[in-house]
Amino acid sequence: MSQRLFNFSAGPAVLPVEVLEEARDNMLSLGDTGIGIMEHSHRGKAFVGVLAQTEADCRKVGNIPDNYRVLFLQGGASSQFFTIPMNFLSSGDTADYLVTGAWSKKAVSQAKRFGTPHEAASSSDRNFSYIPKTASYSDNPKYVHFTSNNTIFGTQWAAEPEPPSGVPLICDASSDIFCRPIDVQKYRLIYAGAQKNLGPSGVTLVIIHDDLVKAGALDIPEMLQYRTHAENDSCYNTPPTFGIYIMGLVFQWILKQGGLEKVEQANREKAAVLYDHLRESPLFEATADEDSRSLMNVTFVTGNPDLDAKFIAAAKDQGFDGLKGHRSVGGMRASIYNAFPKQGVEELVKFMKDFESQNG
């Protein structure tokens, strides 16, 4: 095997080595079953056990109450963008969206097909470089939707927004789920594509309160109703078994780290290495406001696109992969999800210092 690079990809992204090794070792036979993990029937004892353990560990990691359902779906966050308004909005209904980047905007655009989305807050005035402090909610929104972390713009909500009393809070947590403890009871629905903090692309975690399961539309295809998947324990149709298995290994890895408190501590220390350097760097500058900076995606620039490109190319040569920022921000983006090792950030900062001295 080649030496592993420091993979700063925004997603699909780095996974814990222990998880990859475990998956590798179960490829031709899951434990002593004599059948590889991908080859097990989703109705068979072995996979039913994997699914039950994965759900149980997810509940343990997230401290998820019994009146929430944990679902493993397909289609990514992009499918949730339309499935949510399809289920909970009717023509004439309003839903409030807090718009903090490209993904929030996509969610808004899908809601327009089913009802009237209201942008209760937006940070578009300064290219989404901050999290709004206030929101002007509509009179009677069906729900409030926000994106907890914005991969492209390197911002993250420090705490949940406060929706009007009694209004369900819905969160796209694709890029920061389980990066820190989460108070699930503040939400009615949390969804996350797996490919940043949870596993491979192709499986979406949905944590949904029983009330919303019941409230969903009945006149839409069964596959798009949350109740279908809740009533069938995510096995109405064949679920993405391998992705669920990997997610289960990631949950076990989180528990082995000591749970989300420990994971948050590690993430804060890791991000601080980079943000502390950016504060004092003579060359590089963080693009997000100080109080809005993400623990998961650190965006920074030199202010000179040619120098950015030079840095990215030089870094790649040294084994720092995936640092190119999204075209809407430019510059660099270091995605440092749960599984990204602190050593990688420390070595990146060393490399940045070298680059500064040579290009100062």
Tell me the window of 30-38, 137-145, 181-189, 351-359 that interacts with its own copies (CB under 8 A): 30-38
Query: Is 172 annotated as catalytic?
Result: yes
Interface mask (CB under 8 A) for its own copies, residues 164-203, using x and -? Answer: -----------------------------x-x---xxxxx
CA angle 300/6/260 to nearest 5° reads 80
Q: Taking the complex as a whole, how short is the minimal distance between the CB of residue 130 and its own copies, in angstroms?
A: 26
How far is it, in rounded angstroms, from Cα 160 to Cα 147? Answer: 10
- Identified binder of its own copies from the candidate list 104, 110, 156, 299, rule CB under 8 A: 110
Interaction between residue 222 and its own copies (CB under 8 A): yes
Q: Give the residue, chosen from 48, 215, 224, 309, that forms a contact with its own copies under the rule CB under 8 A.
A: 224
Q: Tokens for 73? A: 């779906």
CB distance 218 to 225 below 8 Å: yes
* Three-class DSSP category at 186: helix
Number of H helices, E strands in the chain: 10, 14
Tokens 């999290």 label which residue? 131
> Which residues, numbered 301-320, are part of the site for its own copies (CB under 8 A)?
319
Write the single-letter amino acid at 250: V
The first and second tokens of residue 269, run together, are 């220390």
- Between 39 and 285, CB nearer to its own copies: 39
Task: Determine the interface stretch with its own copies among 7-15, 155-163, 261-269, 283-291 (rule: CB under 8 A).
Answer: 7-15
The count of chain residues that interact with its own copies, using the rule CB under 8 A, is 70
3-state secondary structure of 332: strand
Which residues are registered as beta bridge partners of 312? none
Cis peptide before 12 (omega within 30 of 0): yes
Q: Does 91 bind its own copies (CB under 8 A)?
A: no
When asked if residue 74 is in the footprint of its own copies (CB under 8 A), the reply is: yes
Instruction: Verify binding: residue 341, its own copies, rule CB under 8 A.
Output: no
**Range list of β-strands (E), the chain:** 6-7, 68-73, 94-99, 116-122, 144-147, 149-150, 155-156, 169-172, 189-193, 204-209, 285-286, 297-301, 320-321, 332-335
**Of 24 and 133, which has the nearer Cβ to its own copies?**
24
- How near is the Cβ of 97 to its own copies at its closest, in Å? 16
Cβ at position 307, least distance to its own copies in Å: 23
Establish how many alpha carbons lie within 13 A of residue 244's alpha carbon, considering only the half-sphere containing its beta carbon. Answer: 28
For its own copies, the binding residue among 132, 154, 243, 331 (CB under 8 A) is: 243
Q: Mark whether 196 is an active-site residue.
A: yes
For residue 48, the number of C-alpha atoms closer than 13 Å in the C-beta half-sphere is: 4
User: Contact between 278 and its own copies (CB under 8 A)?
Assistant: no
Q: Which residues are marked as active site?
A: 103, 172, 196
Contacts with its own copies by CB under 8 A lie at: 1-5, 7, 9-15, 17, 20-21, 23-24, 27-29, 31-36, 38-42, 44, 47, 74-79, 81-82, 86, 110, 113, 193, 195, 199-203, 219-224, 236-243, 246, 319, 321-322
